[in-house]
Amino acid sequence: MHELSLCESIIETLTTQTHRQGYSRVRRVWLEIGALANVEQDALRFAFEIARRDTVADTAELDIVTLPGQAYCLDCAQVIAVHQYYDPCPCCGGFQWRLTGGNEMRIKELEVE
Amino acid sequence: MCSTCGCGENELTIHAHDHAHDHAHEHPHVHDHAPEARRLTLEQDILAKNAEFAAGNRRLFTERGILVLNLVSSPGSGKTTLLARTVQTLRAEFPVAVIGGDQQTANDAERIRAAGVPAVQINTGKGCHLDAHGIGHALERLPLPEQGLLFIENVGNLVCPADFDLGEACKVVVLSVTEGEDKPLKYPNMFAASGLMLLNKTDLLPHLDFDVARCLDHARRVNPDIRILQLSARTGEGMEAWLDWLRQGQQAALARQISRLEVDLAAARARLTASAA
């Protein structure tokens, strides 16, 4: 359940930013979460409802954008799509690929007032 | 308040303000103006703050020439037995210390201290992982193993600790042969995040159906770069290769410290030359 820690970290960021960006409430939060990130999205939504209570985000909606897994296959020398860490390369069937995208956990954008 | 990082005693404050006063949610008049909404682009990693603390820890470790390893595994993989045996040998060669994380009890730290090196225990309470901020505070309660080795024994959990950089040089994942050989596939993030895998309790292999080759293949599918060593902390079989790996890592930490000192030295010399001119 480190999703609660992640949400506490999100709320901390939103609270810190109130002074820097001059807002008093957060209406909506857009997250970008990679398809291979170590995050259970349902758990993240559940944890966000707990973490947001009595904060600047206490009524904020959460939007999660899933970013696709992308890798570079060293044997094929090309960019491939991957869905899991143990996926074989769709071209050569090998596992000699390096992830280039899909493990992000990012606060993309906010709607504030 | 903490002078190092500015945290309060209850570090995590998720309340925007205290509630000593009444909330103005019951307004005496009806608002006829809606507050103006605007969009803000942040593009910030969720764990950016942990990353800052981790960078601070890593800077300190580099300056002091300390090799720091973050040991991760399921509960019961034999991490503490492995550590006790490891530190018993290495403490004669360079300073060694251990930070242990568990939800409750100081049992592990006591076992490490009994093996002859300083150890502190972080009880995470209900927390499922250690974070870089907690490590910074644990370091205040431990003599720094200068030009030596610091082990961080993480909470037994193959999921959550994968995401939290503590400032270590490398994560070492310990898997015992009494667990399933498909663990690397079941918990891929942890095996992908680790630089070394230790397959422990190999003395039990004659009594089990564990397919070692299959297990190693699974680990390499998830992480083609992972190094793998097989050992038994109980019998000592395979321990020498692990100890050699640690000695090499410690030398690399010394080399990083030297590079860092040389940069500082060159800067000081340049300043002296400039002020003399």
* Predicted local confidence at residue B277, as pLDDT: 78
Q: Which domain holds residue A51?
A: 2-68+102-112
For the CA atoms of chain A, what is the radius of gyration? 17
* Predicted local confidence at residue B238, as pLDDT: 98
- pLDDT of residue A89 exceeding 80, the answer is yes
Helix (H), strand (E), coil (C) string for B112-159: HHHCCCCEEEEECCCCCCCCHHHHHHHHHCCCCCCCCEEEEECCCCCC
Q: d(Cα B178, Cα B184) in Å, to the nearest integer? A: 14
Residue B127 to residue A5, Cβ atoms within 8 A:
yes
Query: Of A107, A16, A59, whose CA–CA distance to B37 is shortest?
Result: A59
Structural domains in chain B (count): 1
Residue B160 to residue A5, Cβ atoms within 8 A:
yes
Has residue B263 been placed in a domain?
Answer: no
Has residue B218 been placed in a domain?
Answer: yes
> Considering only CB atoms, which chain B residues are within 8 Å of A59?
none
Tens-place pLDDT, residues B43-69 = 999 999 999 999 999 999 999 999 999
Task: Report DSSP state, residue B29.
Answer: S
Residue B49 to residue A55, Cβ atoms within 8 A:
no
Has residue A81 been placed in a domain?
Answer: no
Structural domains in chain A (count): 1
Tens-place pLDDT, residues B181-236 = 999 999 999 999 999 999 999 999 999 999 999 999 999 999 999 999 999 999 99
**Interface pTM (ipTM) of the complex?**
0.90
Q: pLDDT higher for A48 or B126?
A: A48
Structure tokens that stand for A49 in this block: 């409802």
Has residue B161 been placed in a domain?
Answer: yes
The B residues from 12 to 31 touching A (CB cutoff 8 Å) are 12-16, 19
* Predicted local confidence at residue B2, as pLDDT: 61
Q: d(Cα A66, Cα A53) in Å, to the nearest integer? A: 25
Residue B12 to residue A12, Cβ atoms within 8 A:
yes
Low-confidence stretches of chain B (pLDDT beneath 50) = 9-21, 23-25, 27
* Predicted local confidence at residue B109, as pLDDT: 87
* Predicted local confidence at residue B8, as pLDDT: 55
Structure tokens that stand for B194 in this block: 């680790």
**CA neighbours within 13 Å on the CB side: how many for B98?**
32
Q: Hey, of A1, A3, A5, A10, which one would you mutate to test binding to chain B, going by the most B CBs within 10 A of its CB?
A: A5
Has residue B4 been placed in a domain?
Answer: no
Contact between residue A44 and residue A33 where contact means Cβ atoms under 8 Å apart: yes
> Considering only CB atoms, which chain B residues are within 8 Å of A36?
188-189
Tens-place pLDDT, residues A65-79 = 999 999 999 999 999
How far is A93 from chain B, CA to nearest CA, in Å? 11
* Predicted local confidence at residue B27, as pLDDT: 45
* Predicted local confidence at residue B5, as pLDDT: 63
Residue B44 to residue A107, Cβ atoms within 8 A:
yes
Instruction: With 0.90 as the threshold, say if the pTM is over it.
Output: no
Q: What is the mean pLDDT of residues A23-36?
A: 96
Has residue A92 been placed in a domain?
Answer: no
Contact between residue B95 and residue B146 where contact means Cβ atoms under 8 Å apart: yes
Q: What is the mean pLDDT of residues A37-55?
A: 94
Identify the CATH number of the domain in which residue B152 sits.
3.40.50.300
In sequence order, the 6+-apart residues with CB closer than 8 A to the CB of B53 are B5, B131, B132, B133, B135, B136, B167
Q: What is the mean pLDDT of residues A82-88?
A: 94
Phi then psi for residue B13, to 5 deg, are -100, 110
* Predicted local confidence at residue B32, as pLDDT: 53
Q: Which domain holds residue B188?
A: 48-255
Percentage of the residues of chain A whose pLDDT score is greater than 90: 96
Q: d(Cα B187, Cα B158) in Å, to the nearest integer? A: 6
Query: Of B176, B119, B179, B181, whose CA–CA distance to B152 is shortest?
Result: B119
* Predicted local confidence at residue B9, as pLDDT: 40
Identify the CATH number of the domain in which residue A8 sits.
3.30.2320.50
Has residue A97 been placed in a domain?
Answer: no
Q: What is the mean pLDDT of residues A86-111?
A: 95
